[in-house]
Chain A
Amino acid sequence: MSGRAAGRVSALAAKPEVQPYLDAFVLPEGEPFWLWREREESLARFAEEGFPSRKNESWRSIDLEPLAKNPLFPLAEAPQALAAAGAFQGALLARLEEARVEKKGLLFVLRDGRFDPALSSQGELPEGVRLGSISAAARSETLLRPRLKAPSGPFAALNAAFFRDGFFLEIAPGTILDQPIEIVHLVAAAASLSLHTRSLVLLGEESRATLCESFIGEGRYWRNDRVDIALAPSAELSRFLILEEGENAIHFDETEAVLGEAARFSSCAILLRGRTLRQETNVISEGRGARSVLNAAALLSGRQEANIVSAVEHHAAEGETRELVKIAASGRAHGAFQGRITVHPGAQKVDAHQLSQNLLLSPRAAVDAKPELEIFADDVKCSHGAAVGDLDEAQIFYCRSRGLPQREARGLLIEAFLRDVLAEATTPLARHLSSRLSRRLATLEEEP
């Protein structure tokens, strides 16, 4: 192990689930002093808070017990070259191929939590685009300091203390990028570990970009990902997340997006694979007329659990939010949605709509939906709704009467149900997302 032990924090009397992480904590060599300070402060915050308890409303549907009992540590050293990374490599490379939207697209690969230049595309970046390792950027640029402050929330704090890398994307003002930027978060290590990646996305005024992030891996690990996004006035970002984690993997990701005047942020997350998935998006609408579209879909089976969490804070007038969350659960899977939209005093003429639609495909599957509106302004248009149901028998019979076998008919209807969330995607992304969804459907075991 390299780096400096952090004596100050370890001395705290900590909760039992926290202590192993305090013991494992080291400060990475060669980082600026300010970053060490942020790491230590974050660790102290994590030590104080500990794991969220069941009383914590936003974490109550996730079972953290296994994680508390068996801590998973980050890799202390940089991972070896992939050739030496273990038996999974062939299969993983194939999965990396599958995760590509376009063969020639811009690709940035984080392998086991660190930038892997060999797997990433080597071509020249378009003008006005900067894409690289956050760790490298933080070492040389003091300007990033205010962007990498210790965040609130226990796992965000743990992330800030332990992160080793992530991506840094910066789009210059006025730059319009039509081609999606592809980020692949790949887990190749054979050992059980935790990965804390922290990334930063900054869009300049009137710039536009599309980001597609895939999370893939095999086996058991814990991913704890944090992304901070800042959109300058009139900037537009479309972000797509595809979760295809290892069968026994735990995935938490948390995004905070700050929107300037007339900025537009659209997010679409597709939760497909992984044992425990939690996807959290927080939007702070600071500028007048900022718009956000938050879509998410989860297709769950077996004993998967997934939690989609969002909070949108409207601080300025004329903001708009459209949120559509769809969960289809079979087997004994458990899905949950908690979404809150807050309209603060003075944020007049906000137009916000939230809709949660859910399909229960087996008697032992469960879905909880909790849409919430908090309104402190008087001239707003806000609504929310939630529905839970089964597939429509009449539709299934109609399909079967035309020759589609029962299983295929159900698959077709489940796919149609979920595909609504892809409305923001254009080709070739739409095609890619649809094909990932179909692939997952083909393996859906609808056990009772």
Chain B
Amino acid sequence: MGLPLLAVEDLHASLADGREILRGINLRVHEGEVHAIMGPNGSGKSTLAAVLAGREGYRVEAGRVFYRGRDLLSMAPEERAAEGLFLAFQYPVEIPGVNNMVFLRAALNAQRRRHGESEIDAGEFLRAVKKKLALLDMDEALLHRALNAGFSGGEKKRNEILQMAILEPRLAVLDEVDSGLDIDALKAVAKGVESLRAPDRAIVLITHYERLLEQLAPDHVHVLNAGRIVESGGRELAAELERHGYAFLGEGT
């Protein structure tokens, strides 16, 4: 296997108040792979996603992260996005007053500009978006509403996947994209994600439950506990966790 798309090496990170959350994460993700990171509440799953996306409020104390061979941690969030990193938020932010479609097009054009490409015109963009909408079983009306404002939980999550479909990232980190969804919404989201699997794209699923993994067979499953990956394996690991819970983790380390 060639150079990994993402290489996390002994990553330690803490909150602004000094509490250490990540205590030495090691993770390698190659193109075309789907990884699942599971773990109990407070294990550091969302912190890992936030640090990878470049959210403020976290301090990296030690370790390095390479993305496509570059030092990810030195890049601004918008630069990471333009280089193909996408984070689907656990709690997508509501932005009243910003039209959903206007925002999507602005985001896509900002990324294209950074690569010296021309901006996409409104007509062409609308056609592209409509194709993706069908895939996600999403109502077109959502496009014309303010970004996530007043969206239901399911609508927000689908909107995240729609953004992913439009922005076509190389590495997508999906933070609990399955939480708070009813079974139909979960199926729609899973179907959307499944359709976005590609040989040159990697997906990291951060999840609490095995539900999503039944739909999206991951290549690798990692168990995160107290800021460390304590167990890695294939799909069967997820099933085992589902049966036994996280109680065995104490012995695992």
Contact = CB atoms under 8 A, between A and B. Distances in A.
Interface residues of A, number: 23
Interface string A402-439: 11111011001101110110000000000000000000
A393 B111 contact: no
B76 A400 contact: yes
Interface in B225-250: none
B98 A403 contact: no
B129 to A, nearest CB: 14
How would you classify the secondary structure of chain A's contact residues: helix, strand, loop or mixed?
A: helix
B125 interface: no
A401 B54 CA distance: 8
A395 interface: yes
A225 B97 CA distance: 33
A398 B89 contact: yes
Contacts of B80: 401
A215 to B, nearest CB: 26
A268 to B, nearest CB: 16
A401 B76 contact: no
A392 B147 CA distance: 14
B53 A401 contact: yes
A13 interface: no
B95 interface: yes
B163 interface: yes
B77 A397 contact: yes
Contacts of B151: none
B212 to A, nearest CB: 21
A394 interface: yes
Given A400-B76, A400-B77, A404-B78, A412 B55 contact: no
Nearest to B93: A398
B142 interface: no
A400 B78 contact: yes
B53 A403 contact: no
B81 interface: yes
A419 B81 contact: no
A393 B177 CA distance: 22
B97 A402 contact: no
A81 B92 CA distance: 58
Nearest to A400: B77
Nearest to A402: B107
B96 A416 contact: yes
Contacts of B93: 392, 394-395, 397-398
B185 interface: no
B87 A401 contact: yes
15 contacts: A397-B55, A397-B93, A398-B93, A399-B95, A401-B81, A402-B110, A402-B163, A403-B81, A404-B106, A406-B76, A408-B110, A412-B106, A416-B95, A419-B97, A420-B97
Interface of A: 392-395, 397-406, 408-409, 412-413, 415-417, 419-420
